């Protein structure tokens, strides 16, 4: 049974989501403060963390940053509805995806399952050797990636995106394909999640000798991983 941690000071909402998630077969823990949530998130007992960006004692982005120093556990953030700044900050801080408040329990479960489906299916992959794309090596079954023989520290979603690009190295991959394969959902209109994640991946890969990025944006089409 997958165990989910909800970090949210809204007792009524957290209780509603907890009840629904349990009906859908999840085990659920709730933390009402950021400090308590951070401690539980780092316990290694949960397959996914739901984190509210607005908490009374610590900002959600600060909690996420602390989690990312020690853990790759997938994090789904609650953000204010229509607030693009919150969404972008959350993604840049290492969130795997976001759900705007208010949202329906059904939408929340769909997002959770999409994230877990990607992380767990890769973890049980029978692939024996790594995916090779120039200096990039990816072991899907180990959720491990190296770049010029150095381990890359990637979030779950960043790993999924880079893995997808590596499969099609040298080819342009559309945002729709990246969203479906890496995020586990269709691309939503005006959704900038992939762009923000790609910006983070680019920073981690660095630049080529001529200053160009190893991941090229092809306007109106998608992204391309330069494999040579």
Tell me the three-class secondary structure of the chain, residue by residue: CCEEEEECCCHHHHHHHHHHHHHCCCEEEEECCHHHHHHHHCCCCCCEEEEECCCCCCCHHHHHHHHHHHCCCCEEEEEECCCHHHHHHHHHCCCCEEEEECCCHHHHHHHHHHHHHHHHHHHCCCCCCCEEECCEEEEHHHCEEEECCEECCCCHHHHHHHHHHHHCCCCEECHHHHHHHHHCCCCCCCCCHHHHHHHHHHHHHCECCCCCECEEEECCCEEEECCC
pLDDT at residue 82 in the model: 63
Does the domain at 126-225 match CATH 1.10.10.10? Answer given as yes
The residue with tokens 């910006």 is 199
pLDDT of residue 123: 53
Mean of the per-residue pLDDT values for the chain?
A: 90
Do 3-122 and 126-225 show the same overall fold? no
Whether the predicted pLDDT of 126 surpasses 60: no
Q: Where is pLDDT greater, at 129 or 188?
A: 188
Q: What's domain 3-122's architecture?
A: 3-Layer(aba) Sandwich (3.40)
- Residue carrying the six token digits 């900038």: 192
Inter-CA distances, 73 with 176, 214, 217, Å: 25, 26, 28
Answering whether pTM is above 0.85, one says no
Query: Residue 216: its pLDDT value, please?
Result: 95
The string of pLDDT tens digits covering residues 135-164 is 999 998 788 999 999 999 998 899 999 999
Q: What is the mean pLDDT of residues 36-47?
A: 95
Residue 97 φ then ψ, to 5°:
-165, 175
pLDDT in tens, 19-30: 999 999 999 999
Task: Give residue 148's pLDDT.
Answer: 95
Note the pLDDT of residue 93: 85
Structure token digits, residue 212: 């160009």
Res 121: pLDDT: 63
Which sequence spans correspond to the domains of the chain?
3-122, 126-225
* Average pLDDT over every residue of 161-188: 91
pLDDT confidence bin for 102, thresholds 50/70/90: confident
């Amino acid at each position: 049974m997958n165990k989910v941690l909800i970090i949210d000071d809204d007792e009524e909402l957290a209780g509603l989501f907890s009840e629904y998630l349990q009906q859908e077969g999840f085990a659920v823990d709730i933390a009402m403060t950021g400090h308590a949530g951070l401690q539980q998130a780092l316990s290694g007992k949960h397959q996914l963390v739901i984190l509210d960006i607005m908490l009374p004692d610590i900002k959600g982005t600060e909690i996420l940053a602390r989690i990312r120093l020690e853990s790759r556990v997938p994090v789904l953030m609650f953000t204010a509805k229509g607030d693009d700044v919150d969404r972008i900050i959350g993604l840049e801080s290492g969130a795997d995806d976001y759900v705007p408040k208010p949202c329906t329990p059904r939408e929340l479960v769909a997002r959770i399952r999409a994230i877990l489906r990607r992380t767990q299916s890769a973890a049980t992959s029978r692939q024996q050797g790594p995916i090779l794309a120039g200096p990039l090596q990816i072991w899907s079954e180990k959720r491990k990636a190296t770049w010029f023989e150095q381990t890359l520290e990637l979030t779950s979603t960043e790993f999924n995106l880079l893995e997808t690009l590596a499969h099609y190295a040298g080819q342009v991959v559309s945002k729709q394909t990246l969203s479906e394969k890496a995020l586990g959902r269709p691309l939503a209109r005006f959704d900038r999640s992939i762009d923000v994640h790609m910006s983070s991946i680019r920073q981690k890969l660095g630049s080529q000798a001529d200053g160009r990025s190893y991941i090229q944006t092809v306007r109106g089409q998608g992204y391309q991983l330069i494999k040579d």
